[in-house]
Amino acid sequence: MSSAKNQFFGLFFGSLPPVIALAGLLLAGSAPARAQNEKRTVFKESEFHWQGNLKPGHILEIIGRNGGIDATGTTGEAAQVEGIKQTNGEANEVFVEMVEYSDGVTICAVYERDAQPGRCHRGGVDSDHHGWSWHNNRTKLNFNLKVPRGVLLKATTTNGGIRCRDLNSIVEASTTNGNVDVTTSEWASARTTNGGLMIAIGNAKWNGEVELLTTNGSVRLSLPASAEFKVRAATTNGGIHTDFPVTVVGSFGSKDLSGTVGAGGRDLHLATTNGGIELRKSGS
């Protein structure tokens, strides 16, 4: 059993046989589904373990507040999530809410006095309606993940870094205070405010726009040498380096770059205020 200073919330999600699922819901004190394709479960136990399958194209979304997110790739369809609780405040006022959808799962760290379902949803956590702020609680809840191939990972926190290694997934990562470090065979967008971005992608045929944005920190992107894209890069206090030959559109300076690599096509946006920008070929 873990100590009060370092409690474990092992959360492993997915499909369970009906009897086991019912038992898990009773233990967790879950609420009835709010919609036909949505099931909510609240966890306050010091230890809990759950695992299940997510298919390619499904979404695994983790929404933290105080604490980091660490993800690694895994073979097969079994996705796993473990939450590690480090107590420096009121541990009983921190719980996890999980929402299962037909196309994936959202798991939220919720800092509230009242552990009732309904605050977690895709894209965020609803705030308390009685004036209590999560900033009052210094308890950290760090998440460790195993992500199957082809599952879209959305990782969001506020105070903590995000580290994703050896993934075979598209990644969307966002924090406020912390670094973001991602290595994936697909592609990734990332942003932070106080921290650096170090991103390595293996697939340069992304959809839409890849954005790597920070304010106080450097931006480093590695991608295949064969990549073709349109790039916009800008910094205020720092320089820009690129391994790729860029056909410049308009003016070019040491702090601003706009142009195309190869035939262009896909959009790439890199920006920081205090830090440099590096655009590297994989392996360099």
Q: Tell me what the mean pLDDT of segment 214-238 comes to.
A: 97
Instruction: Return the closest-CA partner of residue 221 out of 206, 239, 208, 202.
Output: 202
Instruction: Return the closest-CA partner of residue 53 out of 23, 11, 16, 2.
Output: 16
pLDDT at residue 244 above 60?
A: yes
Q: What is the pLDDT of residues 26-74, one digit of tens each?
A: 334 443 445 557 899 998 876 556 688 999 999 999 999 999 999 999 9
Q: Is residue 235 part of a domain?
A: no
Distance CA 175, CA 215 (A): 12
Mean pLDDT estimate for the chain: 84
Distance CA 34, CA 252 (A): 54
Kindly report the three-state secondary structure assignment for every residue of the chain: CCCCCEEEEEECCCCCCHHHHHHHHHHHCCCCCCECCEEEEEECCCCCCCEEECCCCCEEEEECCECCEEEEEECCCEEEEEEEEECCCCHHHEEEEEEEECCEEEEEEEECCCCCCCCEECCEECCCCCCCCHHHCCCEEEEEEEEECCCEEEEECCECCEEEEEECCCEEEECCECCEEEEECCCEEEECCECCEEEEECCCCCCCEEEEECCECCEEEEECCCCCEEEEEECCECCEEECCCCEECCCCECCEEEEEECCCCEEEEEECCECCEEEEECCC
pTM: 0.85
Q: Is residue 20 part of a domain?
A: yes
Given a contact cutoff of 8 angstroms between Cβ atoms, the answer to whether 214 and 197 are in contact is yes
Q: What type of residue sits at position 198?
A: M
| Residue the block writes with tokens 């010091």 | 46
Q: Tell me what the mean pLDDT of segment 79-99 comes to.
A: 82
Q: Is residue 193 part of a domain?
A: no
Q: Is residue 271 part of a domain?
A: no
State phi, psi for 239 to the nearest 5 degrees: -120, 175
How many C-beta neighbours within 10 Å does residue 15 have? 10
Q: Is residue 95 part of a domain?
A: yes
What is the pairing mode between strands 266-271 and 229-234?
Answer: parallel
pLDDT at residue 39 in the model: 92
Grade residue 83 by pLDDT with cuts at 50, 70 and 90.
confident
State phi, psi for 263 to the nearest 5 degrees: -85, 0
Which domain does 84 fall in, by range?
6-186
Q: Is residue 131 part of a domain?
A: yes
What is the pairing mode between strands 140-148 and 78-86?
Answer: antiparallel
Give me the number of domains the chain comprises.
Answer: 1
Q: Is residue 150 part of a domain?
A: yes
Q: Is residue 229 part of a domain?
A: no
Q: What type of residue sits at position 267?
A: D
Grade residue 155 by pLDDT with cuts at 50, 70 and 90.
very high
